Structure 1
């Protein structure tokens, strides 16, 4: 009973974060507006969804993953599905037989952070030692995936696809390693290269960035804590002021060593994008100033959109503020990953009006992510699209109108909680008319809790 009371008090089991209790399949979903006929594919998003109040994962980062998806084709919303990722523990809790498969270092987890497609596979991903889980196109669990036995260890939450080469890049870390590992999976779905980069203290590297020449590593002072692990913490990564904050440039090809550059103390969950600018490297990211406590994500310092310009010739990192509005989950058009970008999208924190965004907010605030932001980094302008004070919107994902369309020629997709219906909509915004009303709303039959990351997975062809 005491544990149930504790879980009830967790802000991540209430309001827009509250888990759903059932798996739903619905067909021929109602639509307000007109779905663009060129959007043919699946919009998928992953996030934690604890299995009832007896599940110990009351922290937002720790609940087992549930993938939500909508299938669009010919101007219709064919289906909505939500499915838990069937790790062994989840399968047993649901009274099912675990599908089985490889496990890294006895670390099996229902991947809850991202969902992507590569080489014909749909993959739910998570970091810190677990393997991704492969799903069917309809989101049923196939089992853990080690890419045909070619992955030597655990995998990562975030990946970057280089669309020119077809290579999928990731940066894996694990508390038991004295290194992080750059993993490159080829277009055939097999690991073609791994590179170990020595690091001290077991840092958490949730995300990274990619340019045409470099893998950009963020070695920041959130590190593994044996004291926290010994005390029974399920999230044994803590702020370590003795760990020097730095950014690293690892050549994608050739010499295996990384070159490191000092930065001011901070924490970064997510990068927007990075690219080469002559000899320099430009990295745009969401930066938390000062120390960061994973155990209390709602109690952090200022969060801003910043640009770091790494100059290997001078050995310096220039830090520039792009936007002081509090925001997270930055995304670009995935076709420009590792190359110069003009536009970016993010989810706002704080109270957002049509023309203003408050400079602060937090994960547990009911106003978290009630709006999306569009950045034009060439002009330095920001547009907000608010969805109402009691709405809750997740990460924005860009879907191009055609494979060769321009960077801003397409649509922005996101799940938005509609407080009037008590359920979620898949909202489609025109990227070039971002502040206008949605092009279409697909009305889902259930609520979608605020979660983490997803992708628009267009049909081949």
Structure 2
């Protein structure tokens, strides 16, 4: 599809879907892959098969496709891309329909994230559908409800608590006047489920978890029955009359135990991490001032900016502080530091084109960004949150990088001792690479580049899933 034909940037250029599933073995590598990288790097994202009205198509709604690279023994054994098989996808491909449970009869291929938990690969999506289980070669097994213990839908984002290996999520669904806090035991069965009433059916894309609390983002993007009745494919809109709130729920509490804190209007897709010290909760996140107020086909109405929110439980207040004026999304940390204090964070710097531009100032250091930095293509940023500094890796002209996932060098290595993995488009080849960077030198030459035979479209989230043992 060409953008001039339909005016939808999310079906064009590096966002454009690929048309085929590919299997390639024995991938060429520039540099040397670390011997410790034994596992799979998997990333999920929308890859629509058929679009009835391209001009109205919303980026969040394309069929899910998982792109994966298998690394072992210093070699890149294979690359695969596979659509997640909902009934609609299986019918389109002329295949047998997948078997499994459904929530509210929703047939929605998961297109947002991919995790491994209790020995299962799970592709996830928000707003009510179940996750879909895949095998190690990315073939779809079918919808998964944690052995029949999940009584509703699931969520796009989860947190695995490093302390005990349990999976936490907050699920919402357009059909219900509540959200549900879910805890899945290490045995793969839901052991706790708490329904928390919220008015207006808000979009709650993600949540935050500390050692003792769950943070709920009740913000002004809400389900619109009128928009749904009018046939809007993505019927979530900005409600300027809605009071934004941050909810704080004790991990062992009930709905009545949630404390709600009023905050200024904003929207949050992705927190970086949250933790508690001395009666205060600190969370760093990418904040948008406003979204989905103009009927856009993606999150392109305001810039995502890194902020620190401090919740003083004794005083009953939330203090918000801007940390960086450069647009940044997809924040990640060392997964071993989830729910705990951490020094480093990583994210994708977005170009300001499409967001309205503007000068960039790094509040962490108080120094101006390089001239024109906001107008250069996307890149990666590493934050040293203790020192208040950052390091940037800018993409070359025509390149684009996806979410960077941190992989520790060993189970007991230091927080920043490891690698960042990301898919990067190479304009010279017209295809993508899996790039392995030293987390301690993200601006330096890559440790390795695995050359894929095809382009990986700009997508959403992924994980490094090491081999068991």
TM-score (normalizing by structure 1): 0.94
SS in 1 for 2:347: strand
2:405 matched to which residue of 1?
A: 397
2:228 matched to which residue of 1?
A: 229
Deviations, residues 271-306 of structure 1 (Å, cap 9, x unaligned): 000000111110100001245438424542343100
In the TM superposition, residue 433 of structure 1 has moved relative to its aligned partner by 1.3
Q: How does 1:36-75 map to 2 (within 5 A)?
A: 36-54=34-52, 58-75=57-74
Residues 145 and 235 of structure 1, relative CA distance in 2, 3 Å threshold: same
1:364 matched to which residue of 2?
A: none
1:305 matched to which residue of 2?
A: 306
TM-score (normalizing by structure 2): 0.93
Deviations, residues 323-368 of structure 1 (Å, cap 9, x unaligned): 1110111111111111111111111111799x7386757xxxxx66
Residues 7 and 402 of structure 1, relative CA distance in 2, 3 Å threshold: farther
SS in 2 for 1:16: helix
Task: Identify which of 430, 434, 445 aligns with 1:437.
Answer: 445
1:129 matched to which residue of 2?
A: 128
2:202–2:222 contact (8 Å) kept in structure 1 = yes
In the TM superposition, residue 267 of structure 1 has moved relative to its aligned partner by 0.8
Distance in structure 2 (CA, Å) of the matches to 1:401 and 1:429: 12
Moved over 3 A (4+): 3-8, 52-57, 290-295, 355-361
In the TM superposition, residue 164 of structure 1 has moved relative to its aligned partner by 1.1
Gaps of 5+ in 1: 362-366
Q: How does 1:28-427 map to 2 (within 5 A)?
A: 28-54=26-52, 58-256=57-255, 257-293=257-293, 295-296=295-296, 297=298, 299-350=300-351, 356=370, 370-427=378-435
Distance in structure 2 (CA, Å) of the matches to 1:155 and 1:122: 15
2:194–2:254 contact (8 Å) kept in structure 1 = no
2:366 matched to which residue of 1?
A: none
Gaps of 5+ in 2: 354-359, 361-368
The total of aligned residue pairs comes to 452
My pick for the range that moved more, 250-259 or 32-41, is 250-259
SS in 1 for 2:269: coil
1:350–1:358 contact (8 Å) kept in structure 2 = no
